Amino acid sequence: MGDPTLIIGNWKANKTEEEAVVWFDSFRDQLASLSDEWGNKQAVICPTYPLIPTLNKIVSEKEIPITIGAQDISEFGQGAYTGEVPSIVLQRQITFCIIGHSERRKYFNETDEILEKKVVAASLVSTPVFCVQSENTKIPESVRFVAFEPIEAIGTGKADTPEDGEKVAVAIKEKNKNVISVLYGGSVTSKNVSDFTKMPNISGVLVGGASLDPIEFASIIKQC
Ligand code: PGA
């Protein structure tokens, strides 16, 4: 078997703790129908920071085959950086860490220089998944996992074509020799996911809106 297909749900700034608990209960109800489909797939949910310990506890106690990731990380270590969450706080809490999402670049002015530092910080405690908006986005050298997320496809219901996703994935791997895995993100649903994951160079998906619904997320896992 090759590398698992990776399905990462990015909850962004959504869900209270109560809502998250309900989500996992409902996702758990879907597991029976998923057991044959799980095969070579790895699913991750990236909630807001305060939910990370709670959700780790839930997945471990209820034996739910999802791991927990983060949506961002501080470029700094521990110290006088008000409002930041340094890598050490996330130690043993996260499997993957999304870095450089276009919303972070847009609303929080994250530059190539900052993102390079964030990749270093995230690598101390997880596998960074570096988001790029095109094949020309600068990717730090150590990065192995990339998510191609064309801005016009994010949250619009207008996914890119799988052919374009494949073309960009190939170009990213050609230009960045350490990249082993390229995910596609942008309006992924259970209806279009397999069109992307069947492409030879697309190793999984980064799912925003559709990951907020546990039944739809389970269906995405099933279909990909
Ligand atoms: P979307 O978001 O699935 O809601 O388009 C994707 C993302 O921003 O990662």
DSSP string, 148-203: E--GGGTTSS-PPPHHHHHHHHHHHHHH-TT--EEEEESS--TTTHHHHHTSTT--
Residues with Cβ within 8 Å of 156's Cβ and at least 6 positions away in sequence, in order, are 186, 187
Q: Looking at residue 37, what is its pLDDT? A: 66
Q: What is the DSSP letter of 138?
A: -
Examine the pLDDT at 208 and tell me if it is beyond 90: yes
Question: What is the rounded (10 degree) CA torsion for 15, 19, 25, 29?
Answer: -80
Examine the pLDDT at 73 and tell me if it is beyond 70: yes
Residues in the ligand 1 pocket, defined by CB under 6 Å: 10, 149, 154-155, 185-188, 206-210
- Closest of 49, 43, 62 to residue 17, by C-alpha: 49
Nearest CA to ligand 1 atom 2: 208
Separation CA 115–CA 103 (nearest Å): 13
Q: What is the DSSP letter of 139?
A: -
Atom of ligand 1 nearest to the CA of 153: 5
Nearest CA to ligand 1 atom 1: 208
pLDDT band at 2 (very low <50, low <70, confident <90, very high): confident
- Closest of 37, 67, 14, 81 to residue 220, by C-alpha: 37
Active site residues: 101, 149
Examine the pLDDT at 1 and tell me if it is beyond 70: no
Pocket test for ligand 1, best of 7, 102, 148, 187 (most atoms within 8 A of CB): 187
Separation CA 181–CA 189 (nearest Å): 20
Separation CA 103–CA 75 (nearest Å): 17
Examine the pLDDT at 202 and tell me if it is beyond 90: yes
* CB-based contact 10:101 (threshold 8 Å): yes
pLDDT tens digit sequence for 14-59: 999 999 999 999 999 998 777 766 778 999 999 999 999 999 999 9
Ligand 1 mean position to 97 CA, how many Å? 15
The residues with which 162 forms a beta bridge, in sequence order, are none
